[in-house]
Amino acid sequence: MRKPAAAVLLLLSPCVSQITVDAADPNSPGGGERWAPLTAGPIVAGTAEVNPIGTWFYSAASYLQKTSDGRFVDINTEGVGVGLGKDMGFNASVPVVPFPTQNYYQQQQYWFKWQVSRDEYTSRFLSPPALGIESRFVDQSGNDREGVFFLAHKRFRPFELYAQFGSYSHDPVSNGPGQPLSINGVSFNYALSFEQVLSDAHSFGYVFEAFGQNQSNFSFSGKTNVPSWGWFSIAPEIEFNWPNTRSFALAWDFGAFLPVYAHNYIYGVTPMANLVYYFNWRDKSRMSN
């Protein structure tokens, strides 16, 4: 009789463990503070949450990208995000260098985010994630793009999962007097990120991202004359935050883009870094970037 009883207990132990965690978990609604370490988070995949009203961040990211014509371009950007309340947020990202050069892309981004739902139970994997919707506008060296993105974020201590999917429409680009317009197809972007926080004290951990982009031959502006292309990459990263006070924190993230696949696109191995300054993070929510 002992062996069957031991087998039953062994089979039920994950359930018993989960019940014990949930019973003692202060993350349930009305039960206290959720687990939300203040990390730099993934660089490519955004988070579904918005900044609480009165809370904001400033970030500076830098990485090199090898383009389809074989040039390396610097994609340095600076960004600010603020909470508007009512589950709404606004983010803006502008270039460090205010004008484009041969090896620099001028890229400005502005987007509004609506947080549809919140990740309430941060110790449970099988519970609803936070969901968000973004409306974006991008001006990259005169190539205007508008897009809509859908985001999801799920915490299950000490892990976090991120997903981001969206599409851009490209406005025609003028190539100068007497030259035809460049008409790009519709581009689809996707990113998945896995994060493990090894130490809550300074949110030390690692991030692994998988992401890519594809541009079709279809366009909302008419027949395309730019070939389709696509690429897929991965990025291992390490992160931590220091210094860290109740009203101010600096989060660091370092890693590299590693190419896996490319079609009509040259994508090189490129290092990148991201620094995020958090101000007035009174409820310790994972802020959007």
Beta pairing, strands 130-140 & 88-95: unpaired
The beta strands (E) that lie in 178-247 are given as 187-199, 204-215, 229-244
pLDDT tens profile 29-53: 545 567 888 888 888 888 898 877 7
Distance CA 288, CA 241 (A): 16
Number of residues that make up the chain = 289
pLDDT on residue 264: 84
pLDDT tens profile 194-213: 999 999 888 999 999 999 99
Extract the tokens encoding 62.
């830098």
Amino acid letter, residue 244: N
Per cent of the chain over pLDDT 90 is 26
pLDDT score of 78 more than 80: no
Positive or negative, the Cα torsion across 76, 187, 255, 201? positive
Residue with more model confidence, 95 or 105: 95
Instruction: Choose among 17, 47, 26, 38: nearest CA to 197.
Output: 38
For the entire predicted model, the pTM comes to 0.79
Residue with more model confidence, 183 or 76: 183
**Segments making up each domain of the chain, as ranges:** 43-279
CATH fold of 43-279, please? Porin (2.40.160)
158 preceded by cis ω (within 30°)?
yes
